[in-house]
Amino acid sequence: MDYPVEENLKMVRKQMALACKASGRNVNDVQLLLATKTVPLEKLQIAVQAGEHLFGENKVQELRDKYPLMEQSKALEWHFIGHLQTNKVKEVVKYVTMIHSVDRLKLGQVLHDQLVKEQRTMDILVQINTSYEESKFGASPEDAVELVEQLSQFETLHVKGLMTIGKLHASADETRQCFRLLKQLSMQIRERNIPRVEMEMLSMGMSGDFSMAIEEGATIVRVGTNVFGPRYLPDEYYWNEHKKIED
Ligand SMILES: *Cc1c(COP(=O)(O)O)cnc(C)c1O
């Protein structure tokens, strides 16, 4: 192996523990989700051997390729963290136990219709564009409460919390504001006691900012680069694609 996944994992786990300690939180209250886009299987297997079990994919295509090869270890769990097109819903629900990126009513409706057919439920997070960047997916913070209320009408969907991508290539202050805003929104929503809506999870923090996200209340951090090394494709490829032709 050309990349020390195991050592990297130890380092990330250590940094997570430090951030928890610094903010008076319990290490067990923050989950590590490994973001696996473009990461080859060998590296994923090393992570599994090192005891990791929670993985997140951005593209259904990559999930389809990796999922059957990893499936032998039943304790593994996959979440979907990328932009989800409605025509991919039917396939994605086969693989994942949670979708972090529900950001519009239409997507909720299509998910619900599929889950009704299969007589199943799905845990979801509502993705919020806390940085107000054009290039990012996610509902605007102003629409968050209403969107959660609308989604709560679909009884197959269990809203577990919120997700965001903090502002990247920005000052630490700006990024922290994104995380604070997500936390505030989750508290506002919690106060409303909406049926089937729990606000126990905050998915926020990536390689560059997960310690800060933990300080601001993250319960899941999504880390790729710090564990698996740099990717060949720019993230715009994952975050920006199809933005203009969204349904
Ligand atoms: C790629 C990705 C991550 C991980 O990013 P890194 O900077 O590589 O840690 C987290 N969340 C989402 C939604 C991603 O697309």
Calculate how far, in angstroms, residue 195's C-alpha sits from the geometric centre of ligand 1: 31
* Candidate from 43, 206, 221 with most ligand 1 atoms within 8 A of CB, to mutate: 206
Predicted confidence (pLDDT) at residue 240 exceeds the cutoff of 70: no
The pLDDT tens digits of the residues spanning 8-30 come to 999 999 999 999 999 999 999 99
Q: What is the rounded CA–CA span in Å between residue 159 and residue 146? A: 13
Amino acid at 243: K
Q: Give the pLDDT band of residue 3 (cuts 50, 70, 90).
A: low
List 34's β-bridge partners, or say none. 55, 223
List 202's β-bridge partners, or say none. 162
The DSSP annotation for 170-211 comes to S-HHHHHHHHHHHHHHHHHHHHT--TTEEEEEEE---TTTHH
In the structure, which protein residues have their CB atom closer than 6 angstroms to any atom of ligand 1?
Answer: 35, 37, 58, 81-82, 165, 206-208, 222-226, 235, 238
Q: What is the rounded CA–CA span in Å between residue 123 and residue 154? A: 12
Residue nearest ligand 1's atom 10 by CA: 222
Question: Which structural domains are found in the chain, ordered by start?
Answer: 5-229 (3.20.20.10)
The pLDDT tens digits of the residues spanning 143-195 come to 999 999 999 999 999 999 999 999 988 999 999 999 999 999 999 999 999 99
The answer to whether residues 232 and 238 touch, using CB atoms and an 8 Å cutoff, is no
pTM equals 0.93
Instruction: Return the ligand 1 atom nearest residue 222 CA.
Output: 10
Residues with Cβ within 8 Å of residue 165, at least 6 apart in sequence: 130, 131, 136, 138, 178, 204, 206, 239
The pLDDT tens digits of the residues spanning 38-89 come to 999 999 999 999 999 999 999 999 999 988 887 776 689 999 999 999 999 9
Instruction: Return the ligand 1 atom nearest residue 206 CA.
Output: 9
Predicted confidence (pLDDT) at residue 236 exceeds the cutoff of 80: no
Calculate how far, in angstroms, residue 224's C-alpha sits from the geometric centre of ligand 1: 6
Identify which has the larger pLDDT, 10 or 245: 10
Name the burial class of residue 165, with classes exposed (0-12), middle (13-18) and buried (19+) by CB atoms within 10 angstroms of its CB.
Answer: buried
Instruction: Return the ligand 1 atom nearest residue 37 CA.
Output: 1
Instruction: Return the ligand 1 atom nearest residue 208 CA.
Output: 7
Residue nearest ligand 1's atom 7 by CA: 207
Q: What is the rounded CA–CA span in Å between residue 173 and residue 193? A: 31
